Structure 1
Amino acid sequence: MSVTLNRRTILGLAIGSLIASVFPAAAETFPERTITLVVPFAAGGSTDLVSRLVAASMSKTLGQQVIVENVGGAGGNLGAGQVARAEPDGYTILMGTVATHALNPLMLKTKPYDPIEDFAPVSLLVLVPNVLVVNPQLPVNNVKELIQLLKDNPDKYSYASSGNGTPLHLSGELFKSMAGVTMEHIPYKGSGPALNDVIGNQVPIMFDNLPSSSGHIKAGTLKALGVTTKERAPSFPDLPTVAEAVPGYETYTWNAFFAPAGTPPEVVARLNEAAKAALADPEVIARMKDFSATIVGSTPDELASHVKAEIQKWEPVVKSTGVTLD
Structure 2
Amino acid sequence: MTTRRQFAVQLTSLAALGTGTFSAAQAQQQSDLARLLVGFPPGGSTDNVARRLAEKLRGTYAANVLVDNKPGAGTQIAVSALKDAAPDGTTLLLSPPSPFTVYPYTYRKLPYALEDVAPVSMACTFPFALAVGPAVPDSVRTLQDFVAWAKANPGKASFGSPASGSTPHLVGSVLGKMAGIDFTHVAYRGDAPGLQDLMGGQLPAYSTVLGSYLPHLKSGRLRLLAVSGTERSTFAPDLPTYREQGFALDMTEWFGVFVPARTPAATVQRVAEAVRAAVAQPDFARGLAEFGMTARSSTSQELVTRLRAEAEQWRAHVKNIGFTADT
Amino acid of the structure 2 residue aligned with 1:131: A
Alpha-carbon distance in 1 for matches of 2:197, 2:67:
24
Q: Tell me which moved more, 251-260 or 145-154.
A: 145-154
- 1:153-209 C-alpha deviation (Å, 9 max, x unpaired): 214343222323321111011011011222322234444554455455554422111
* Alignment pair present for 1:224 and 2:224: yes
Q: Is the 8 A contact 2:97 2:254 kept in 1?
A: yes
* Alignment pair present for 1:252 and 2:262: no
Alignment-derived partner of residue 77 in structure 1: 76
Amino acid of the structure 1 residue aligned with 2:154: P
Identity of aligned residues (%): 35
Alignment-derived partner of residue 110 in structure 1: 109
Shift of 1:247: 3.2
* Alignment pair present for 1:176 and 2:195: no
Q: Which runs of 5+ in 1 are unaligned?
A: 1-21
Q: Is the 8 A contact 2:243 2:249 kept in 1?
A: yes
Shift of 1:27: 1.6
> Counterparts of 1:45-124 in structure 2 under 5 Å?
45-115=44-114, 117-124=115-122
Are the structure 2 counterparts of residues 290 and 73 from structure 1 closer, same or farther at C-alpha, using a change threshold of 3 Å?
same
Alignment-derived partner of residue 15 in structure 1: none
Alpha-carbon distance in 2 for matches of 1:60, 1:197:
44
Alpha-carbon distance in 2 for matches of 1:202, 1:39:
32
Shift of 1:39: 2.4
How many residues are treated as equivalent by the alignment?
303
Shift of 1:64: 3.3
Alignment-derived partner of residue 280 in structure 1: 280
Shift of 1:26: 3.5
Alpha-carbon distance in 2 for matches of 1:201, 1:154:
17
Q: Is the 8 A contact 2:32 2:64 kept in 1?
A: no
Q: Tell me which moved more, 182-191 or 312-321.
A: 182-191
Amino acid of the structure 2 residue aligned with 1:118: D
Q: Is the 8 A contact 1:42 1:191 kept in 2?
A: no
Q: Is the 8 A contact 2:132 2:205 kept in 1?
A: yes
Shift of 1:103: 0.8
- 1:270-299 C-alpha deviation (Å, 9 max, x unpaired): 221221111111112234456654443222
Alpha-carbon distance in 1 for matches of 2:90, 2:193:
29
Are the structure 2 counterparts of residues 286 and 109 from structure 1 closer, same or farther at C-alpha, using a change threshold of 3 Å?
same
Shift of 1:123: 0.8
Alignment-derived partner of residue 233 in structure 2: 233
Amino acid of the structure 2 residue aligned with 1:119: V
Q: Is the 8 A contact 1:135 1:205 kept in 2?
A: yes
Q: Tell me which moved more, 240-249 or 92-101.
A: 240-249
RMSD: 2.8
> What's the TM-score, normalizing by structure 2?
0.81
Alignment-derived partner of residue 130 in structure 2: 132
Q: Which runs of 5+ in 2 are unaligned?
A: 1-21
- 1:199-229 C-alpha deviation (Å, 9 max, x unpaired): 5555442211123332223554543221112
Alpha-carbon distance in 2 for matches of 1:195, 1:78:
27
SS at match of 2:232: coil
- 1:59-84 C-alpha deviation (Å, 9 max, x unpaired): 25335343334433333323323322
Alignment-derived partner of residue 297 in structure 2: 297
SS at match of 2:58: helix
